[in-house]
Chain A
Amino acid sequence: MAAAAAAGGTEAAAEDAGGAAPCAGSGRAARLPLSRVKALVKADPDVGLASQEAVFVLARAAELFVETIAKDAFVYAQQGKRKTLQRKDLDNAIEAVDEFAFLEGTLD
């Protein structure tokens, strides 16, 4: 019993480090692998080095972006009374939302 409790304590600490908080929210660790995000950063010839923190914030920002664009696109699926998000919903969202203007012409 005591041994199990001790093991449980270490597990909890490991979980905290992994960011597996009960309430999904801002404090979570990045789910996108930092190595892939870093590869994208390095693809820019004008960019020198990037701190680990910068790569982390970019990863988290990309996750927030995915959430945002998915939700905005879903509005159009709902309008079409569909439960499946389709490519055209995304195209509609990109056209309608100013912040997504940078995506125009890049997804084909």
Chain B
Amino acid sequence: MAERPEDLNLPNAVITRIIKEALPDGVNISKEARSAISRAASVFVLYATSCANNFAMKGKRKTLNAGDVLSAMEEMEFQRFIAPLKESLEVYRREQKGKKEARKDKDKKADSEEQDKSREDDNDDDDERMEDEEQNDEEEVDN
């Protein structure tokens, strides 16, 4: 298991891709630089989380919400992130809403199909549903 929180690292392949896309073509990064950036990103998340948590506590909430994270960005002097983050969040919310409605339709359909067909043991569906439920528990509708 990880000894320190900073050891919880983010996938190298993704980090490398983000770096490469940010830099001009033909630029390389050394393994040490890539590794350090990855660690820096982890530290960033830890710091932002801690900062966001302060805002949640101020609001007497026990669940961090998106607004807390945006407030943390302001606090950390990364204001320039706020506009793009808000945009991403809008897209994300729309996608989640779409997925939710697709799930509802799928459940309705499954119910009506069960009445028609004879059962087959389908464990996959159950697992998928459990995962969704876990997500739903922590989902908070916030502004």
Contact = CB atoms under 8 A, between A and B. Distances in A.
A80 interface: no
Nearest to A51: B140
A47 B99 CA distance: 28
Contacts of A87: 30, 32-33, 36
B65 to A, nearest CB: 5
A97 B45 CA distance: 18
B40 A69 contact: yes
Interface in B1-58: 2, 5-6, 8-11, 14-15, 17-19, 21-23, 26-30, 32-33, 36-37, 39-50, 52-53, 56
A59 to B, nearest CB: 8
A90 B23 CA distance: 14
B49 A17 contact: no
Contacts of A98: 77
A61 B32 CA distance: 22
Given A31-B17, A36-B10, A44-B46, A57 B85 contact: yes
Contact of B49 (A33, A44, A60, A90): A44
Contacts, number: 219
Interface string A7-36: 000000000010100001111111111001
For the complex, would chain B's binding face be called helix, strand, loop or mixed by DSSP majority?
Answer: helix
For the complex, would chain A's binding face be called helix, strand, loop or mixed by DSSP majority?
Answer: helix
Interface residues of A, number: 60
Interface residues of B, number: 71
Contacts of A107: 36, 39-40, 43
A52 B139 contact: yes
Given A40-B42, A70-B23, A99-B78, A85 B66 contact: no
Nearest to B91: A27
Contacts of B89: 53, 56-57, 60
B78 A85 contact: no
A85 B135 contact: no
A107 B116 CA distance: 60
